[in-house]
Chains A and B, each alone.
Chain A
Amino acid sequence: MNRRVFFERVFNGESPQPLSITAGLEPYKPTDKLSMDDALHLLRRTTFAPTNDDLQRAMTLTPAQAVAALFSGNQSPIEPSWGRVNIYTETFANDQARQTEYYRRYYEMQSWWLRLMRTSTFSILENLTLFWHNHFCSDYLKVYYPQLMFIQNDTFRKNAWGNIKTLTTSMIADPAMLIYLDNITSIKGNPNENFARELLELFTLGVNNYTEMDIVEASRALTGWRINTQMKGEFRQQLWDPGDKVFKGQKGKWNADDIVRIIFEHENCAKYFARKLYKHFVYEIPDEKIVGELAALLRQNNYELKPVLQILLSSAHFFDMQVRGAMVKSPIEFMVGLSRLFDFTAMPDDYSINRSNLLTQEILNPPTVEGWKGYHLWVNTNTYPQRQRIAEAFIDGRRNDNNMNFTVKPDVVAFAKRFPNVNDPRKFITEATQYLIAFPQGTKGSEYLLEQLLLNAPDYEWNITMNNVELRLRSFLQAVLTLPEFQLH
């Protein structure tokens, strides 16, 4: 079904038809090494964007081997020096000094995390860390203490592909979360419903899978959590409501662990996570049949994420041609991707951050507890041309906020020399375009890109040692990076 038919159906009040890809979760070409297109697809969806090294390595592996290899990476990177300094004993000259230092730390942490994303090798780790940040949302404006945002981020990284139930349990005691959703104020006799509501609505079950009474009862069970002097979430029995609660039809003197246990007994919980993972890795409009199968796998695996995600990412469904290029790049994928695609190591930290902000995604500061909704909301008549101008300036080796040059420019000649047929302009265009975007160019697109490469020179004069080759490569690369195709992967 094409988009138009799809929209007409929606417009006529029919519900959107789910994807109809016949391929399921069976392994994709289990004995073949990944082709270049397959490898690129896998790396785009899991590593922000493929680096050349990652691509070359992936092509030596079968789908299952490549996917297994992605579940590695340093889960204990070097931490910011202040990351675990106790917030209660740390002193500042005055409130102004504290505030200034906290903002500096948030800037440092954003820079630190973006660097991890840019420099990670063959790893899904930072992608999943960001996935969890966008799932169990907190923002620094409300949480205030940088250490607590750091500790939460560390929890996401250490549990990135671990047990979802364990991660959910740890969020109940997470200091940043306790502040962000006000559970730190919740007390027997006067429970605060904020956390209980989001736990059910956004973190585990999804709307329509609980009642308002379930929220009230869960909020009672979730009372009593405070942050101790060691910056850890701590349960205080005397602040907890010990009475009977009826939650999801089960009656007992439930506490936080009981609430998580009961939630995770429900199939809708598995489906909620399965759907969210599908939307993150495959396509925005979930295939409910696959979602059901993933949910069943999650339950069979007692909510261990890694085995289930590995099945999805090495499945024929994931590699189906239908979904190639069907994801809208987030601002982070866009900005981090520029560096990775060109092995560019000189992206200024402040620039990475302020451009992502401009494109409406500031890490550590999601707009609401619902996180970034993404998909079509990422691109509009404001952000789309902004992305184009950022990409153009990038290829020129220039910031587009103040037009200052980077310390070095992206090495476009070295980039071009990666491709075996660099001296044949038409073949070079095909190969470089294949690497940069998920859509092969037809006659018109190729002609346009050829014009941009040759800039009126006759094609027989083209080779990588010709005069002004850099100018021509930059012209060509700017043309590719400003195509609508470059906003998708």
Chain B
Amino acid sequence: MKRREFMSKSGKAVALTTVAAGLGGMRIDALAASPVMNRMNQLAGDNDRVFVLVQLTGGNDGLNTIIPIDNADYYKARPTIAIQKKDTLALRNGLGWHPALSGFKSMYDKGTLSVVQGVTYPNPDRSHFRGTDIWLTATDTDVFKDTGWVGRYLQTLAPNFPTTMPEHPLAVQIGTSLTLGFKAPGGSIGITFRDPDAFYSLVEQNGNSAYDAAPKTYGGDELDFMRSVERSSQLYSKAVKAAADKVKQNKVTYPTGLGQSLRIVARLIAGGLKTKFYLVNIQGNSFDTHIDQGGATGAHASLLQQVSDGVKAFMDDCDQLGIGDRVAGMTFSEFGRRVMENGSRGTDHGTAAPLFVFGKNVIGNQVHGADPNLTSLDNRGDLLMDFDYRQVYAAALMQWFGAAQTDLQQALLRDFAPLPLFNQLSSAGDEESAQLLASMRTYPNPSSDVAVISYSLPSAADVRVTMHDIRGSVIGVPFSGQQQEGAQTVSANVATLPAGTYFFTINAGRLKQMKAFTVMR
């Protein structure tokens, strides 16, 4: 007889609440009245929104995703892999969808998907692991963190984690090893598994119920960590199974690959799992298309199709399961790829690329940012930045989850102006904010002597335009005072600034938007 059988047969099975209690925490049920649980309940009740991160591992080629169909430089740079205009799906003037993205196109046309062009960060890193870490930890290129942006945000919702474990896992990755993004200051706040049923049967539900206190040494600290992993496995494998059991059937058929992970996510959300963040990813380094990446068909096309069809099926399913209103998500990838194709009919590591936000409550049918400029490139022949990726995170946290400014700073380490991407819990200011952003232009970009920002104020306001560097340090205030509704222009002397990426931030009343520009020497 195996130990596990013995345990259950001998009637020593221990209630999960007791398991948790034995580990130095309080009983979950005894926490109901605590401020922490109140906050958790409030989150679960008043704000049951869920955000799904879709990671395109390996570096997605942005120029072959949203195609600049009227740009001769694009076709010149990519003699063998360019997507011909006639093969693309119509997006808008000058831009076409990769033909594999019919799912995304239909969502975009329906208003449940938007495109953010030119997303990266200043001094982008072209290494996979560093680039991935940067996206997951929401840091500047030269800042190293061992906690993730999601983990830091979730720790603000569960400040006593891991002493007090939330009833349900706050973050779930469908996979085998846990993303750095879900690492919180208190430890891994997310869990990972591939399949709810396999996860449940993998985890020992009985185990030891009564641990002695760990010694007060570094070894003891690590033992506490290990116990918290065990506790997460035990507690959450049951919660996950319960949710998955409630929704045995999805409402649509999913494609293979990424879609199969999303299929599980839909079941868990609809089954009532109170998880805020999910992460699914493409297996391996698939998007790293150095050789033979193909064009309208081929390796890259089939990856895009996997993502687009998977996400489309997922959102359709969510709709039919009655959870469409509270699910949104985004794609991301550690970098885009070089403008010029290489000698192996592929592309090397690059910088800026488009990403997608999706969901019934995204402000849909938008292409944010300028079309890629293939004539002013950085010294490596890579695209310049339009938006910082943390402006997308800021939108997810503030607009989607309604995070407070202080929590945002905790998660993103400093302030970033959110792009107008999601219908907010309270929607005041959305439209004006979007109008302001849409009107913002910097020129000449890149600049060397004078940088100009033009914009259009939706209404008269007290305005402060600041210029700052990539660390957020203010290096100038080119304008401060009252401005009238309508077109405005502010210029700044940049002749003495070293080459690099800079930002203008416009604070106009309660509106705040940010725009990057480049100084070249």
Binding site for B on A (CB under 8 A): 2-4, 6-8, 10-11, 19, 207-208, 283, 285, 321-328, 358, 360, 367-370, 376-377, 379-386, 388-389, 392, 396, 438-439, 441-445, 447-448, 451-452, 455-456, 471, 474-475, 478-479, 482-485, 487-488
Chain A residues near B2 (CB-CB < 8 A): 392, 396, 478
Q: Which residue of A lies closest to B186 (CB)?
A: A7
Chain B residues near A383 (CB-CB < 8 A): 176-177
Q: Which residue of A lies closest to B210 (CB)?
A: A444
User: Is B202 a contact partner of A386 (Cβ separation < 8 A)?
Assistant: yes
Interchain nearest-CB distance for B265 vs A (Å) = 16
Q: How far is the CA of A185 from the CA of B144 in the complex (A)?
A: 31
User: Is A379 a contact partner of B215 (Cβ separation < 8 A)?
Assistant: no
User: Is B221 a contact partner of A2 (Cβ separation < 8 A)?
Assistant: yes
User: Is B202 a contact partner of A483 (Cβ separation < 8 A)?
Assistant: no
User: Is A482 a contact partner of B218 (Cβ separation < 8 A)?
Assistant: no
Interchain nearest-CB distance for A18 vs B (Å) = 11
Chain B residues near A485 (CB-CB < 8 A): 223, 226
Chain A residues near B204 (CB-CB < 8 A): 385, 388, 482
B75 within 8 A of A: no
Taking a contact as CB atoms closer than 8 A, the residue among B4, B155, B207, B236 that contacts A381 in the complex is B236
Taking a contact as CB atoms closer than 8 A, the residue among B147, B219, B229 that contacts A439 in the complex is B219
Chain A residues near B192 (CB-CB < 8 A): 380-382
Chain A residues near B187 (CB-CB < 8 A): 7, 376
Interchain nearest-CB distance for A483 vs B (Å) = 7
User: Is A385 a contact partner of B202 (Cβ separation < 8 A)?
Assistant: yes
User: Is A326 a contact partner of B237 (Cβ separation < 8 A)?
Assistant: no
User: Is A482 a contact partner of B219 (Cβ separation < 8 A)?
Assistant: no
User: Is A11 a contact partner of B217 (Cβ separation < 8 A)?
Assistant: no
Taking a contact as CB atoms closer than 8 A, the residue among A326, A376, A445 that contacts B188 in the complex is A376
Interchain nearest-CB distance for B370 vs A (Å) = 28
Taking a contact as CB atoms closer than 8 A, the residue among A6, A10, A389, A441 that contacts B212 in the complex is A441
User: Is A283 a contact partner of B218 (Cβ separation < 8 A)?
Assistant: yes
Q: How far is the CA of A438 from the CA of B218 in the complex (A)?
A: 12
Q: How far is the CA of A11 from the CA of B184 in the complex (A)?
A: 9
Q: How far is the CA of A322 from the CA of B207 in the complex (A)?
A: 27
Chain A residues near B230 (CB-CB < 8 A): 384, 484
User: Is B219 a contact partner of A488 (Cβ separation < 8 A)?
Assistant: yes
User: Is A6 a contact partner of B221 (Cβ separation < 8 A)?
Assistant: yes
Q: How far is the CA of A439 from the CA of B215 in the complex (A)?
A: 8
Taking a contact as CB atoms closer than 8 A, the residue among A327, A368, A377 that contacts B178 in the complex is A377
User: Is A479 a contact partner of B202 (Cβ separation < 8 A)?
Assistant: no
- Contacts A368-B129, A377-B177, A381-B237: A443 and B188 contacting too (C-beta < 8 A)? no
Q: How far is the CA of A4 from the CA of B216 in the complex (A)?
A: 12
Q: Which residue of B lies closest to A484 (CB)?
A: B226
B400 within 8 A of A: no
Q: How far is the CA of A145 from the CA of B499 in the complex (A)?
A: 44
User: Is B144 a contact partner of A326 (Cβ separation < 8 A)?
Assistant: no
21 contacts between A and B (CB under 8 A): A2-B216, A2-B220, A7-B186, A11-B185, A285-B218, A358-B176, A360-B177, A367-B129, A381-B236, A384-B229, A384-B233, A385-B199, A385-B233, A392-B3, A438-B219, A439-B219, A482-B207, A484-B226, A484-B230, A485-B223, A488-B226
User: Is A456 a contact partner of B10 (Cβ separation < 8 A)?
Assistant: yes
User: Is B177 a contact partner of A325 (Cβ separation < 8 A)?
Assistant: no
What 6 A-B pairs have minimum CB-CB distances, sorted nearest first? A442-B212, A325-B219, A484-B226, A11-B185, A3-B221, A381-B191
Give the most central of B178, B210, B217, B218: most A CB within 10 Å: B218
Q: Which residue of B lies closest to A11 (CB)?
A: B185
B512 within 8 A of A: no
Q: Which residue of B lies closest to A400 (CB)?
A: B202
Give the most central of B183, B199, B222: most A CB within 10 Å: B222
Interchain nearest-CB distance for B470 vs A (Å) = 15
Q: How far is the CA of A376 from the CA of B225 in the complex (A)?
A: 8
Give the most central of A396, A456, A482: most B CB within 10 Å: A482
B443 within 8 A of A: no
Q: How far is the CA of A448 from the CA of B208 in the complex (A)?
A: 7
User: Is A326 a contact partner of B212 (Cβ separation < 8 A)?
Assistant: no
Chain B residues near A207 (CB-CB < 8 A): 142, 144
Q: Which residue of A lies closest to B144 (CB)?
A: A207
Q: How far is the CA of A274 from the CA of B229 in the complex (A)?
A: 30
Taking a contact as CB atoms closer than 8 A, the residue among A6, A11, A208, A326 that contacts B155 in the complex is A11
Taking a contact as CB atoms closer than 8 A, the residue among A208, A323, A379, A448 that contacts B218 in the complex is A323
Q: Which residue of A lies closest to B152 (CB)?
A: A11
Q: How far is the CA of A385 from the CA of B2 in the complex (A)?
A: 16
Q: Which residue of B lies closest to A456 (CB)?
A: B10
- Contacts A208-B142, A383-B177, A455-B6: A442 and B194 contacting too (C-beta < 8 A)? no
B163 within 8 A of A: yes
Interchain nearest-CB distance for A299 vs B (Å) = 26
Interchain nearest-CB distance for B209 vs A (Å) = 8
B213 within 8 A of A: yes
Q: Which residue of A lies closest to B123 (CB)?
A: A212
Q: How far is the CA of A474 from the CA of B237 in the complex (A)?
A: 26
Q: Which residue of A lies closest to B185 (CB)?
A: A11
Q: Which residue of A lies closest to B221 (CB)?
A: A3
- Contacts A376-B187, A382-B193: A326 and B210 contacting too (C-beta < 8 A)? no
- Contacts A377-B178, A385-B233: A448 and B210 contacting too (C-beta < 8 A)? yes
B224 within 8 A of A: yes
Interchain nearest-CB distance for A84 vs B (Å) = 30
B323 within 8 A of A: no
Chain A residues near B224 (CB-CB < 8 A): 3
B251 within 8 A of A: no
Q: How far is the CA of A439 from the CA of B163 in the complex (A)?
A: 21
Q: Which residue of A lies closest to B240 (CB)?
A: A381
B203 within 8 A of A: yes
User: Is B223 a contact partner of A475 (Cβ separation < 8 A)?
Assistant: no
Q: How far is the CA of A368 from the CA of B222 in the complex (A)?
A: 26
Chain B residues near A6 (CB-CB < 8 A): 221
User: Is A380 a contact partner of B226 (Cβ separation < 8 A)?
Assistant: no
Q: How far is the CA of A6 from the CA of B202 in the complex (A)?
A: 32
- Contacts A382-B177, A383-B177, A444-B212: A326 and B236 contacting too (C-beta < 8 A)? no
Chain B residues near A483 (CB-CB < 8 A): 208
Mask: chain B, 155-170; 1 = CB below 8 Å from A; 0 = not: 1000000010000000
User: Is A488 a contact partner of B223 (Cβ separation < 8 A)?
Assistant: yes
B227 within 8 A of A: yes
B232 within 8 A of A: yes
Having A326-B219, A381-B188, A385-B237, one finds 18 other A-B pairs with CB under 8 Å, namely: A2-B220, A208-B142, A322-B217, A322-B219, A323-B219, A360-B177, A370-B129, A376-B225, A379-B226, A382-B193, A383-B177, A384-B233, A385-B199, A439-B219, A445-B212, A447-B210, A448-B208, A451-B12
Taking a contact as CB atoms closer than 8 A, the residue among B203, B212, B216, B227 that contacts A385 in the complex is B203
- Contacts A10-B185, A328-B222, A384-B233: A321 and B217 contacting too (C-beta < 8 A)? yes
Complex interface residues of chain B between 220 and 272 (CB less than 8 A to chain A): 220-227, 229-230, 232-233, 236-237
Interchain nearest-CB distance for B421 vs A (Å) = 28
Chain A residues near B220 (CB-CB < 8 A): 2, 325
Chain A residues near B208 (CB-CB < 8 A): 445, 448, 479, 483
User: Is B188 a contact partner of A380 (Cβ separation < 8 A)?
Assistant: yes
Q: How far is the CA of A368 from the CA of B127 in the complex (A)?
A: 10
Q: How far is the CA of A2 from the CA of B183 in the complex (A)?
A: 19
User: Is B6 a contact partner of A380 (Cβ separation < 8 A)?
Assistant: no
User: Is A475 a contact partner of B237 (Cβ separation < 8 A)?
Assistant: no
User: Is A324 a contact partner of B6 (Cβ separation < 8 A)?
Assistant: no
Q: Which residue of A lies closest to B147 (CB)?
A: A10
Chain B residues near A322 (CB-CB < 8 A): 217-219
Give the most central of A367, A380, A392: most B CB within 10 Å: A380
Give the most central of B177, B183, B227: most A CB within 10 Å: B177
Chain A residues near B203 (CB-CB < 8 A): 381, 385
Q: Which residue of B lies closest to A370 (CB)?
A: B129
